[in-house]
Amino acid sequence: MLQVGVYSEPPIVEVKSKKIISEIKCSINETPENITSNIKSSINRDLPQVTPYETQPDKVVCLVAGGPSLGSTFGIIEEKKNNGVPIVALNGAYKYCFDRGVSPSAFIMLDSREFNHRFTDPIIDECKYFIASQCHPKVFDKLCNNDVYIWHCAGDTDNEHLLEEKYKGKYYPVMGGSTVTFRAIHLLRMLGFCKFELFGFDSCIMDDHHAYQQPENDEEQEIEVVLGDRKFRCTVAHFQQAKEFVQLVSTTGDHYELSVHGDGLISYIIKHPEILKEAA
C-alpha cells in the first residue's frame, strides 16, 4: 500500500564509500555563461509564461521520472492514463512512455545542456511543453510550432536582472531543488495541482541508473547509502537529491500530497518515518 503524504523529519543517513571519496561536491552541469546566453535567447521568443492558477484539490497528476523502477511500475501508468489521469513526463521518460503507447499530456525540462533537445522526440501535437528559460535554444527551436510555455528558476540571482528587464517584475519563478523532479512538483503546484503520483523517482541505482539508456550518466561515481535496514547504491547526485527531497518537503510539504511508486530510496524514506524519527 502506497502511503500518501510526506513526512518532514529530516534523516541522518550513514554513507559508506565504495571508493575513497575525500569530499562530496555538487555543482551545476553547465557554465554560468551558457545559462545566461540561453536565458537571453529564450525570453526574447515571447512565449507565454507559466502563471499561478487556483488549486484543484481533487485533481491527481502522474509525474513520470526516469529512474529504474519505471519499468516495473509502468502498468500502473497505463491504467492511470486510461482512467483520464494526466501523465506529465520528464526528460527521457517522455519517449519511454510514448514508445510504450502512453502519450504524455505534458513534458517538463530544466537542464541547460544542448543534448537535451533529443528528449523532445517525437513531438506530440496534443502535448504541452513546459521548458525552463535556461534550456538550450535547440530545444525551443524544435518546439517552435507547438504548445510551449516558458518558466523560470527561482534562486538564479545571476540572471534575475534579465527577467526583470524583460517582464517588468511580472514573472513567477519556480522554486525547488537542483533536479527537474523537484522543480516539476512546484511548477505543477503553481498550476493548481496538489496531488501527485510519482514514478521512476528512485534516487538510487537498481539494475541501472535509468529505465532507459542515458550514456551521460554511465561513468558517475557510486557510493553506498545505509538507511535503516536497507543499503542503496547511489551516485553522488542521487544522494544529494535524497537529501534535498527531505529538506524541500520539510518546507513545502504541507502544500501537496505525494505517492511515490517503486522500491527506491525516496519511497523508502517516505514509507519509514519511524526510522527518520529515530535518526533525527
At 1-10, the pLDDT tens digits run 233 333 323 3
Domains in the chain, start-ordered, CATH in brackets? 14-279 (3.90.1480)
The DSSP code for 5 is S
d(CA 43, CA 39): 6
pLDDT of residue 147: 97
Residue with cell 557554465: 31
Q: Are 62 and 200 in contact (CB under 8 A)?
A: no
d(CA 106, CA 120): 11
CB-side neighbour CA atoms (13 Å) of 22: 0
Cβ-Cβ contacts under 8 Å for 248 (sequence gap 6 or more): 176, 177, 182
pTM for this model (two decimals) = 0.86
Q: Are 6 and 253 in contact (CB under 8 A)?
A: yes
pLDDT digits (tens, 9 = 90+) for 139-176: 999 999 999 999 999 999 999 999 999 999 999 999 99
Question: Whole-angstrom distance between the N-terminal and C-terminal Cα of the chain?
Answer: 25
Using 70 as the pLDDT threshold, list the residues of the chain that sit under it: 1-29, 209, 212, 214-219, 273-280
